[in-house]
A and B are shown apart, each in its own frame.
Chain A
């Protein structure tokens, strides 16, 4: 135990003293999480809505595809993105291999299935009459979509929580497409990996781990409160 205690004691000044390296990592991590979740929302919400509201053939197949891609290992997503963006690859002209941009792209692809699958599931779980009634009352496509999203808010926020969680915790894709370059395209999670495996610098790894845990706790708590409150008010309204 003395060993663990000693490591912890050397880690705390790094966190409390605002170590520049850890601060920079935190900033990159927040950017990666925010950008990839936002991009996944912009792309994924319309797809989730289409699956949830649409009445076309193949929509069940799309839903199964979204659910299945939740089980896709991040390393495989990373490898596929890397092979596309390498200079010889199809998107080689973008020159984003081993850059922060590649990390954004990979994490967006990882976050997308959470948004699509959970949004679609939440919309399909709405009371059966609700959307039919809105349709009958003459709601247009836009109004219907807005209504569905508002009513399925709890599920949509659950999707955001899951997407953010993946962006904060995953290392498989980030390390492959970004190369885990220190002071450039590392996230807190991939920096822990490097500090332990390459530098055996345990105080740094521990300090970074603590910051990562705090960040996850903070973001999850805020979103959970938002989710519960949004849900609570809405439900009360509707039963009244």
Chain B
């Protein structure tokens, strides 16, 4: 326990005094989490709506694909992206390897399956008659989508929580595409890896504590939103 305790004592001043390196890593982590989750939602929610509401052939295949890609190892995703990004690769002209942009893209790709799979599942789990009734009453495509998303809100927010969690915790993909460059494209998680491997344990512990704090705040915030909304919605519906 001595070692753990010592490192913890050394770590506290680093956090309390607002070490500039630590602050820049925190800021970049928040950027990554926000940009990747929002991008994944913008791309993923329409796909999930198509899977959940659509009545076309191949929609089950899409759902299975989304579920299966949840099991893709982040390192493999990162490596495939890296092969596409390197100068000789198809997107080589964009000069993405070892940049912040590559980190944003990698975390978006990792977050996407959570958004698609969990949102589609939530929409498919809605009461059977609800959407059919809306269709019969003449709801257009936009209205139907809005209704489905509103009613499946708990599941959609669960998807957002899972996506946020991945963007905050994962290191496999971003270390490969971003190179884990000190002071540039490190997130709190990849910085923990970096400092632990460099045997800077006090720094690693400080970063880890901040990461846990950030996860608690972000996840807690979204969970509160989820429980709050869900409750009201359900009460409303059973009253009518």
Contacts and interface: CB of A to CB of B under 8 A. Distances in A.
A, B in one complex: yes
Contacts of B176: 192-193, 196-197
Contacts of A193: 75, 172, 175-176
Interface in B174-228: 175-176, 179-180, 189-190, 192-193, 196-197, 201, 204-205, 208, 211-212, 215, 219
Nearest to B161: A71
B195 to A, nearest CB: 9
Given A4-B84, A197-B176, A76 B212 contact: yes
B132 interface: no
Question: How extensive is the interface on chain B, given as a class?
Answer: 35 or more
A93 interface: no
Contacts of B3: 83-84, 86, 88-90, 92
B164 to A, nearest CB: 9
Nearest to A78: B196
B146 to A, nearest CB: 30
A82 interface: yes
Contacts of B89: 3-4
B9 to A, nearest CB: 13
B2 interface: yes
Interface stretch (A116-124, A149-157, A165-173): A165-173
Contact of B90 (A1, A196, A213): A1
B73 A168 contact: yes
Contacts of A172: 169-172, 189, 193
Contacts of A71: 165, 169, 215, 219
Interface residues of A, number: 44
Contacts of B201: 79, 83
A196 to B, nearest CB: 5
B136 interface: no
Interface stretch (A34-42, A126-134, A138-146, A204-212): A204-212
B114 interface: no
Contact of B211 (A73, A84, A86, A209): A73
Contacts of B74: 169, 171
B172 A4 contact: no
Q: Which residue, of A3, A71, A90, A179, has the highest number of chain B Cβ atoms within 10 A?
A: A71
Interface in A162-192: 165, 168-172, 175-176, 179, 189-190, 192
A74 B166 CA distance: 11
A75 B192 CA distance: 7
5 contacts: A3-B83, A73-B170, A75-B196, A90-B3, A190-B75
Interface of B: 1-4, 7, 71-76, 78-80, 82-84, 86, 88-90, 92, 165, 168-172, 175-176, 179-180, 189-190, 192-193, 196-197, 201, 204-205, 208, 211-212, 215, 219
